[in-house]
Amino acid sequence: MLNLIGKPADIAHPILGIITNKNVGFFHRHKHILVTSRVDGNWGRYAGVITTSSNPRELASVPHVYGLSTDEITKLCDGDIVLIETNGMVNQIWDSDAPHNALLATEDCNCCCIMCPQPRKKDLEDKTNLNIRVIRLLDPKRTTSLGITGGEPTLLGNGLVKLIVECKKRLPHVPILLLTNGKRFEDISYVEKISAIGHDITFGIPLYSDNDTEHDRIVGAKGSFYQTVEGITNLARYKQKIEIRNVLLKPNFNRLPQFAEYVYRNFPFVIHVAFMGMETTGLALKNLDKIWIDPMTYMTKLREAVLHLYRRELRVSIYNLPLCIIPKELWTFSRKSISVWKNIYIEACNQCTVKEKCCGFFSTSGGHMSSGIKPI
């Protein structure tokens, strides 16, 4: 997400608001943050103002950030939601132009996955109230989907329940994708509490192997495999939508066909199975020698696993892998899955005839790419 830094003035506490580039009616201003190059108007009652002016004396009574460039402020669009910190940092929390947005529920986690792109850390403060305020600012007519991610969101306990209740109240027709390791759902009473809300939720749960030894080694927490399996089963008992995700790594690629059979035999009720290329940042970069493998090496195994599930009428997708390294018969399973704010295409892509259909690359992956990359 976008982060800008300007010079703060009259900002006593962090300000959350909806970006607007045009003048808003007086009685609706308290929800909005005005982005403008002009400072000669009446900007009273706005939650805040962001401006390119280098000395906006006219804004002395309004919380504002000044001194940003024109190029910077044009990146902020109507409908974006930002948090302005007291130090002048402008953090984009919601991108109105992106097809998918997610709320960061917590940065804490009860696993330590060897390829985690966002290593766990203790929250300095509870994000639940901030996220509830974001939900209240969203336009139900413009919001088509909502993600909740972490860290591990279920560590919030009743805080996660509050978030989902707020979504049910404010965004009743907006589906949620909840990314979770599923371990907390071994407690069936917690499953019952969330399912009773009655909101449309898909639980995206990672399972990295068909056996406990390999899965637990990857997630760095003994006993996790059986907790996750129990959690998936409990969610199914309450007829919840479940998506199983598997990140493709050196330790687990050899058993992809066995993994596919395990999923089919044990979880035929899941609505989706996703095989995911790795984002090489965070702990993945630190552990690169243990987990990195050229995707060309596992294509045969991936093909077998994908077709095994497809032939058994399970919906299956391939995420985060460019089309040039995927066998053409698997292109129909490929998805443009990388978040807009970190999605790039390299120079070789400029000559490619299928660029518009391809997911491209992670800007965060530091150039760790397959040897098979080439224009089609």
How far is Cα of residue 11 from the mean position of the Cα atoms in its chain? 29
Asked which of 142-146, 344-348, 365-369 is least confident by mean pLDDT, the reply is 365-369
**Residues with Cβ within 8 Å of residue 165, at least 6 apart in sequence:** 197
Residue 367 pLDDT class (50, 70, 90 cuts): confident
The residue to which tokens 């560590």 are assigned? 155
Q: Which residue from 14, 2, 170 is spatially nearest to 74, judged by alpha carbons?
A: 2
Q: What is the dihedral of CA 354, 355, 359, 361, to 10 degrees?
A: 130
Q: How far apart are CA 56 and CA 62, in angstroms?
A: 10
At residue 151, φ and ψ (nearest 5 deg) are 45, -160
Give pLDDT tens digits for 283-317: 999 999 999 999 999 999 999 999 999 999 999 99
DSSP string, 154-191: GGGTHHHHHHHHHHHHH-TT--EEEE---GGGGSHHHH
The residue to which tokens 């071994």 are assigned? 186
Assess whether pLDDT exceeds 90 at residue 99: no
Alpha-carbon Rg of the chain, whole angstroms? Answer: 23
User: At the top level of CATH, which class does the domain 102-365 belong to?
Assistant: alpha beta
Give pLDDT tens digits for 233-259: 999 999 999 999 999 999 999 999 999
Q: What is the residue-averaged pLDDT of the chain?
A: 94
The bridge status of strand 81-84 relative to strand 15-20 is antiparallel
Q: In the Cβ-directed half-sphere of 11, how many Cα atoms lie within 13 Å?
A: 23
* Residues above pLDDT 70, as percent of the chain: 98
Residue 277 pLDDT class (50, 70, 90 cuts): very high
Higher-scoring residue by pLDDT: 37, 283: 283
Q: How far apart are CA 17 and CA 65, in angstroms?
A: 13
* Residues above pLDDT 90, as percent of the chain: 85
Q: Which residue from 249, 310, 307 is spatially nearest to 283, judged by alpha carbons?
A: 249
Domain with CATH 3.20.20.70 in the chain: 102-365
Give pLDDT tens digits for 176-233: 999 999 999 999 999 999 999 999 999 999 999 999 999 999 999 999 999 999 999 9
* Residue 4 structure tokens: 């800008």
Decide if 270 contacts 312 (C-beta within 8 A).
no
Superfamily of domain 3-94: Phosphohistidine domain (3.50.30.10)
Give pLDDT tens digits for 124-133: 889 999 999 9
Helix axes 188-195, 224-237, angle to 10 degrees: 40
At residue 261, φ and ψ (nearest 5 deg) are -65, -40
Domain with CATH 3.50.30.10 in the chain: 3-94
State which amino acid sits at residue 50. I
Give pLDDT tens digits for 73-97: 999 999 999 999 999 999 999 999 8
Give pLDDT tens digits for 212-222: 999 999 999 99
